[in-house]
Amino acid sequence: MITLKHLSIIFLAILAMSTAHARHENCKTKPKCPTPCSCDIPKPPESSGYNQSARVGVCKAKGAFVTGSFIYWEALEQGFYLVLLNDNASTRGQSINMDHEFDPGFKIGFGYNFQYDNWTTYLEYTRFHSKNSFSKTRPSWATSQSYYWSSSNTLANEYQANLKIELDILDLELSRSEYRGQKLIFSPFWGLKGGVIDQSFTFRAMSTTSTILKNALKSDSWLIGPRIGVYTKWLLGKGFSLNGKAAGSLNYQKFYNMTASINNIKIDNDSVISPIFEMLLGFNWGSYFDNNHWHFDIFAGYELQVLWNQNMIIKNRILSLNSNIDSGKLTLHGLNITARFDF
């Protein structure tokens, strides 16, 4: 006959075995988190002809990204003629114009990825301040000259010029990045362009002892207008791609503070419609990091921007020859190195 004492012993034995089994289960090695322990990298489509979103997708993303660019551009502007040299027999002549140099600048940008249909907005600031200095000694064969800035014919021994261009531009874009094939991405965008462009130009004709002629010209302006364009990305593999951009804008531009020191000329304010064309082409490398929680891109390429109707001080005929010269184009071109960080 089982006594109460025997039941107590059996109960305690069962309890001890259950506790030991539970401890054994808790001490088992937990399965490892799959590698990577995060969401997957967005995959491209398996066939062409897609409008599938192609923007960067990082895990637990805030939907934001930042960019920074180093630019090294040359500013070429039409219309800054200095002096025309001739010999006695008028059989030889030379027109002396400005030389141009490359100058550094930068761009910074901030973007945000919306959930709505995978749209992206992006704001970029461009700062490029260029200063060109030029000096030339009159060749020995030149015995006469014609200034483009004065009716004076006093022969000089040296000609000096300085051109300063200060460009500060904001570009606002709304875009959608999408596949147009398995290895081709298009990102059409539209938006606004705005900013200020200030210019100053100084010309001196020097004799051996003094300044014969000096003229300082100045113009300030602001602009705003609609902008449209497209980014392209040709995927080459291993994170490399061939990237391009083409864009255009049509801007209302207001010129003011236009002056010329010679004869104390003050020019009336002027307004024009200024088209701007932009082109960018180069190679890009990008990769996800930290189990797809970050994404980094680096780009290097050639950039070109052409701005029409920028040399308004020439258009207003500060020339002594009274030539009917149209306002010249301002061309900016050179190196662009850009880094982008998505988080």
Domain boundaries of the chain, sorted by first residue:
36-342
pLDDT at 265: 72
Q: What SS3 state is found at 229? A: strand
For the segment 23-32, what is each residue's pLDDT rounded down to a tens digit?
544 444 444 5
Q: What SS3 state is found at 234? A: strand
Fold classification of 36-342 (topology level): Lipocalin (2.40.128)
Cis preceding-peptide flag for 36 (omega within 30 of 0): yes
- Say if residue 73's pLDDT is above 60: yes
For the segment 147-168, what is each residue's pLDDT rounded down to a tens digit?
776 667 778 999 999 999 999 9
Q: For 212-240, what is the mean pLDDT?
A: 95
For the segment 30-68, what is each residue's pLDDT rounded down to a tens digit?
445 444 445 767 777 766 557 889 999 888 778 999 999
- Say if residue 206's pLDDT is above 80: yes
- Say if residue 184's pLDDT is above 80: yes
Arithmetic mean of pLDDT over the chain = 85
pLDDT at 38: 52
> Per the structure block, which two tokens stand in for 20?
């030991």
| Residue appearing with tokens 């260029």 | 130
